[in-house]
Amino acid sequence: MDTTDKLLKWLIALAAFLASAALWWPAPANAVRLKEVATIQGVRPNQLVGYGLVVGLDGTGDQTTQTPFTTQSLNAMLQQLGTTVPPGTSMQLRNVASVLVTAVLPPFAQPGQAIDVNVSSLGNAKSLRGGTLIATALKGVDGQIYALAQGNLIIGGAGASAAGSKVTINHLSAGRIPAGATVERSVPTPWLQGDSITLDLAAEDFNTAREVARAINAAKGPGQAMAIDARTVRVAMPPSPDARVSYLADIENLNIDQAAPAARIVVNARTGSVVMNQAVTLGPCAVAHGNLSVTINSTPVISQPGAFSSGTTQVAEKADIQVRQDSGSLINMPAGTKLTDVVKALNALGATPQDLLAILQAMKAAGALNAELEVI
């Protein structure tokens, strides 16, 4: 009886372990959801832009003598409000700034919904802190008005100046208005057009396109999805909108077995950043690296004429030039089949990130770097 009780307790514990395993067991490293690798063709955000005025600044607005368009815009706005400024009036305003307003209209946005807007100074305003954006029409590339923006700016910075000294924290000439624009017009999408939709993959890859089609056909039946090329997959859709929403809700969470990406190293030549993925491998090679520095020191030399002479004092410069070249030993770098091996081999050179850019390019030219080198 004791043995049976122990066996029963062990089976219960095993069942509880297996039931909870799905909550904490990590998913395969190469498995991603369909929504993370593909989007619906034609269903995308749209960029909006507008020109407006920010008022209520504490003397930190545009200098109207240097930004005449601010005065012109203010006159036009006052005329629309029924106020006419006499001709020839010189308005030295410091509480107004011309700005560009940008926003992103998300897909399926409908009239009445609120979207965030970004406000950036267009003139020479010192700060937009405390300002209020006056009603600004936001237009698309077709020239139509899709949203109307207005509200108080949020500036993530501060600044102070006195007696020629100035202290600034973060950026003061750009801000944001959360929910600062109201959508006035929706953008039609091909969501309900035709009997199918097209999925656009984030990157061109034939294997990923094939796996997307396989996963959809396995879940919804054969013939529902077909890979067109390395970037697009066509999916048959039901006719009614409600059925389409349910269909997409089901397939967008399907797990896609994604193959290892192509070996690539991305180099930022401006900052010296180097990023490589796990597929990068290194062939055997030998590398010698040494630093070359040139130092020029200039020392003023005063030439004083003799007493009772008609000469004048002359100032000359004496230049001292030194060239220093550090010795670089030849380092044998073995073949690396893992990312950690490649990192260890590159660290053995003792080179700075800026030097590493030249070393990687030389390795690529020598055929020892098995990766695509992209410079941004």
**Domain locations along the chain:** 46-183, 194-257, 264-302+315-375
- The DSSP string of 156-178 is S-EEEEETTEEEEES-SSEEEEE
Task: Give me the torsion for CA of 198, 203, 205, 209, rounded to 10°.
Answer: -30
**Distance between start and end Cα atoms, the chain:** 72
Predicted structure pTM score = 0.68
Report residue 368: phi and psi, to 5°.
Answer: -95, -10
CA distance 49 to 141: 9
CB contact at 8 A, 174 and 194: no
- The DSSP string of 102-123 is EEEE-TT--TT-EEEEEEEE-S
Taking CA atoms, 23 is separated from 152, 161, 247, in Å, by 45, 56, 25
The three-class DSSP label of residue 240 is coil
CB contact at 8 A, 364 and 373: yes
Q: What is the pLDDT along the chain (376 residues), one digit of tens a residue?
A: 555 565 556 555 555 554 444 444 444 446 788 988 899 998 999 999 999 999 999 888 888 777 888 888 888 888 888 888 777 677 777 889 999 999 999 999 999 999 999 999 998 888 899 899 999 999 999 999 999 999 999 988 666 655 556 666 677 889 999 999 999 999 988 888 889 999 999 888 898 899 999 999 999 999 999 999 999 999 999 999 999 999 999 999 999 887 777 788 888 877 777 888 888 887 888 777 665 455 556 677 777 776 666 667 777 767 666 656 566 566 676 777 676 777 777 777 677 777 777 778 888 888 888 888 888 8
